[in-house]
Amino acid sequence: MAEEIQNLESKRKAEGGQEAKLEERNSKGAKLMANNEAQLGVGFLLSDIRDKYKAANLLPKWKAFQTVIFLERDDGLHDSSKIAAFDFDGCLAKTSVKRVGADAWSLMYPSIPEKLQSLYKDGYKQVIFTNESNIDRWKNKRQVAVDSKLGRLQSFIKCVKVPIQVFIACGYSEDPYRKPRPGMWQIMEKYFNSGISVDMDQSFYVGDAAGRPDDHSDADIKFAEAIGLKFHLPEDYFGPIEKQGQASQ
């Protein structure tokens, strides 16, 4: 009996140590993000929210603030401590800068719908963080750029049948919300997750821009590093594209 009590106490101490380590890690992460937020000049006010992005109209349920367009509350979306975050172009959707339009995309991997549905059942909130500087650059065709990007995202969400939160960074150059800067994540975590602390051990980010020789940039891996998230390449997370082939929407 004494031995059982001793084993139980040892187990409790071990569990307590693990909880303390997790709390310490989350605390350090929170301090790091707070410092980053102050340095980047990221801030948010309800009065900043608009129904348009500059002069461009947005689809229903989409809003804008500063240089960000977002879909905050997709039907069925539940805030969570577990965040499954994704890039969009080249990760979830195959797109091309030469093609414009809401229908100009296809699934990057056939396994995506099943994977995302499984995450949803496991209690993950899924969030897309995507850059789209053309929305700011195309001053004379801004509505076209907005309709194209939002249309693709809405079609994708409908295709995978999973509620997803979306943040689009429309600025460029030194914009604090543009990846690899962590501004979009900071806004999501602080203002759009019902005050729920993110479990960094269970959360992760998937993106294709990892600084490899054929990659267009290293924005995704640097974004994950700035936040402190585990990073996965889409081919590792969804499966090799050459084995699965391409799938249209």
- Superfamily grouping for domain 45-244: HAD superfamily/HAD-like (3.40.50.1000)
**Which is more confident, 43 or 114?**
114
Q: What's the Cα-to-Cα distance from 22 to each of 16, 28, 69, 83, 197, rounded to whole Å?
A: 10, 10, 33, 16, 12
**Which is more confident, 141 or 73?**
141
For residues 102 and 143, the answer to whether their CB atoms sit within 8 Å is no
Give yes or no for residue 36 having a pLDDT over 80: no
Give yes or no for residue 6 having a pLDDT over 80: no
Say what the pLDDT of residue 241 is. Answer: 64
Say what the pLDDT of residue 221 is. Answer: 98
Domain extents for the chain?
Answer: 1-40, 45-244
| Amino acid occupying residue 75 | D
For residues 123 and 79, the answer to whether their CB atoms sit within 8 Å is no
Give yes or no for residue 31 having a pLDDT over 80: no
Q: What's the Cα-to-Cα distance from 159 to each of 92, 110, 150, 199, rounded to whole Å?
A: 11, 11, 14, 28
**pTM confidence score:** 0.82
Give yes or no for residue 187 having a pLDDT over 50: yes
Closest to 162 measured CA to CA, from 116, 213, 224: 116
Q: In the predicted model, what is the mean pLDDT of the chain?
A: 86
Kindly indicate the confidence band of residue 243, based on its pLDDT and cuts at 50, 70 and 90.
Answer: very low
Q: Which H helix or E strand runs over 6?
A: helix 2-40
Give yes or no for residue 26 having a pLDDT over 80: no
Say what the pLDDT of residue 10 is. Answer: 53
